Structure 1
Amino acid sequence: MSDLPLAAPGKSRRKRIVVAITGASGAPYAVRLLQALRSSEDVEVHLTLSQSGVAVIGQELGLKLDVRRPNLDALLTCVAPWSTEKPYRLDSPLGYSGDDRFFFHQFDDYMTPIASGSFMTDAMVICPCSGSTLSGVSRASASNLIERAAEVHLKEHRKLVLVPRETPMSVLQIENMHRLASAGAVLLPAMPGWYHNVTRLEDLVDFVVARILDQIGVENRMIQRWKDDPSDSETNP
């Protein structure tokens, strides 16, 4: 089992967020989420990738990864081919290898900390969440670490956010979502809104990621929000 840093005496530990990327369309959401989490100094990320998730990253972002030894620096800094954004810069000069806030776990390693309820985490996000992952988690029939970690979050009553991206939905998929919602999971389909002054595709990605961050309690300013004061001179989006 991996040795992980403990909080210094008198200090609370960082917020631990598990992020899983599976084989549904929507890799840009996943990468943007990782970048947003990494930019928060009080967040510790535990990442795991499925084989299908790696395949989708290659197809949608043009980034070829080895599922066993992925180049995480490349993953954290990549941008979509259609993006107008500048490449994301790592805040650590050593990149991922010098970061004590970012951990990678292989999808079939059940001896890793996130497979156990005794390892304290604050939330888990599966983004994007494939239909097969949705099914496996809803039936507590884990076939990999991702589904096992999700089951752990459900049984420990911790926040679990699932981001499916498929349309149309079959009755079986809807039933799986209902089962998970009934068990306490948050179903957050990748359905971006258009009311926040959208001018770029990146704005639609940020909308979904901002909603994910809101659900797991990570402060962000990724989108224009409704004004609290109705007398504000600016018009609400």
Structure 2
Amino acid sequence: MTNARRKPKRKPVREPQQARAVQTRERLLDVAGELLAEVGIERISTNMISAHAGVTPPTLYRYFKDKYAVLEALGQRLMDRQNAVLLAWLEKHKGGGADAYADNVEDLLRDTAAITASEPGGIWIERALRAVPQLAHVRIDSHRSVTDAMLEVYAPLLPDMDPDLLWRRIRLSVEYGYATDEMLSEEDLIPREEILREAARLLRWSLRDAEP
């Protein structure tokens, strides 16, 4: 399996360059995230978003063609911010070997959860990325991208493991970490700290296991 076969198919979205336009777009996304948490995927609309943001619908349509484009942008923004945490974590523990990453994986889970919690409607954005077929590619492309980044780091540390096998195991670990992030907001029968601790324990095992 080559990186070329895993490249995202999504066409890049042209984003505003001027400071005022960027600010307006971010404001629309913040409002949309808050509304998503309040009313859900089915009820949210472009008219509702523009009204709560204090702009006209034509202003919103300069940035987004419909509500699904808004949701896609919300998902992409959240994924980018979560991925930035992962990339910083990879850089921070570079040079410490596979054990350094395994030993500090709970920090990664905790920091990722903090990003989700700070994002307007964060957990609802994650749910939308699973529930809406048109949005699935945002999550999948993002997770494949960070899997590629992790493979570049882990492959030299585990030279005896087949790269395709390693990619699959990392990809499963990324998905598991994402599911853990969702679980923190959904499962009230297990204390939050226990979820983080147990998830980290399982990920430590998967990241240390070099057996094919």
- Shared fold per TM-score greater than 0.5: no
TM-score normalised to structure 1 length: 0.27
Larger radius of gyration between Structure 1 and Structure 2: 2
Work out which structure has the larger RCO, using CA pairs closer than 8 Å and 6 or more positions apart in sequence.
2
More helix by share: 2
TM-score normalised to structure 2 length: 0.29
More strand by share: 1
